[in-house]
Amino acid sequence: MPFCTSCGAEVPADKKFCVQCGTPMKQITAPPIQVTPAEPEVQITPLPCDRTSPVQPKTPRTSMIIGGIVILLVIIAVAYFAGMPMLKGNQKSSNGFVPSQTTPVTPAIIQTVPPTVYYTTVIPETTPLPVIVRDDRLQEDYEQVYTLNQKFAFGQKVDFAHELTRPPLYIRFNLTPTMTNRIRLVAIGTNNEHYENTTDISPYAWFEVKILDAGSGAVIDQQGFGKDHSDFTKQNFMVRQKGNYLIEMSRNEVFADVQMLIGTP
């Protein structure tokens, strides 16, 4: 609402004179409104369109056909590159050469490898030299024709045949019988009667050597230990006549070291 310029009273806008002092009211004109000119409108001219060949949108069927063609081309290419080495390998196989499956070898390398030559040395058969044994007790040399060194049990028997052409047939043996521990009563019937631990030769230990005629089976000589023989564990004896002999050895619970010798040439 406007005010009077004389008294300052409020004057309604539709009054031309002040209602208090009657001073005519001046008409207040509103300042002109500045209008900003609008930007010129840009005319967009559409590009000419060739109505004779309209662009058809791609359908899913077309995409599937194109994809199938691409996959088919890839399969053909893979089959071609994978099949060519196999075809070349089959051609080489038909010529008698089968390439290795792990390390391929080129023909150039095969040609440069020299052939391996193996030399065989033929060793002529030789007759072993005779074993000469010196008997210190008799101060003579003998040729060894048989030896045995092992433990036997359960009445085992070993036979050895020999045709004696250079007497004597000298047989010697050294025995180690099995030992047993026993408790026995000693000093029986005296004030010193008591039991004590003893180590004795097993009552089942024995050894026997028989010299038999190979033709008739007659016993030429025999020696041994235990049973009906002596208690000497080291013995020797000789057969001085030529002949075809069978030497039969039997023993039980003994370790036997046996040597059979003949005369030297």
Position 216, amino acid:
S
Which 3 state secondary structure label does DSSP give 230?
strand
- Cβ neighbours of residue 118 closer than 8 Å, sequence gap 6 or more: none
Q: What is the pLDDT of residue 5?
A: 76
Q: How confident is the model at residue 60 (pLDDT cuts 50, 70, 90)?
A: low
Q: What is the pLDDT of residue 126?
A: 73
Q: What is the pLDDT of residue 34?
A: 56
Which residue stretches of 104-191 are H helix? 107-112
**150 vs 244, more confident:** 244
pTM check: above 0.95: no
- Token pair recorded at residue 38: 């609008």
pLDDT surpassing 60 at residue 24? yes
Number of neighbouring beta carbons within 10 Å of residue 146:
16
Query: Class of the 136-263 domain?
Result: mainly beta
If you average pLDDT over every residue of the chain, what do you get?
A: 79
Least confident of 4-18, 88-102, 120-134, 177-191: 88-102
